[in-house]
Amino acid sequence: MLTSVPLTYLAQAAAAAFFAALFDYVGTAAPERAGFEALSAAVTGLATEAGTPTWPLVTLLPFLARPDQHMLLRPKVTSQAAHRLGLELRFAADPNWTTYSTFLRSS
């Protein structure tokens, strides 16, 4: 049963999975679907107030590590800018490769 496992162990395991996915993702020559989806899944394993991964949680550290390859996606600002520029990002609230890859191609 999950409740019998100490919370600190669960938090450590989630953090280890997150950093492994992060390092794998930013270590590639270019952003790839499998790496993005693994990172998004690892973020899901982290405890957040909302309980779901958010775009900034998934995109901030890759952007800071490799700004030449990755972009920070902030939903409200990004959606407004895309609308003003006439771009269709196929935006979805939950982090997903379709929206992110479209966002990267638009830059």
Over residues 94-103, the pLDDT tens digits come to 999 999 999 9
Kindly tell me if the per-residue pLDDT of 65 is higher than 70.
yes
| pTM value > 0.75 | yes
Of 95, 98, 23, 28, nearest to 61 by C-alpha is 23
pLDDT in tens, 24-41: 999 999 999 999 999 999
| Amino acid in position 94 | D
Q: Residue 82 has which token pair?
A: 């895309």
Distance, in Å, from the CA atom of 100 to the CA atom of 107, rounded to the nearest integer, reads 11
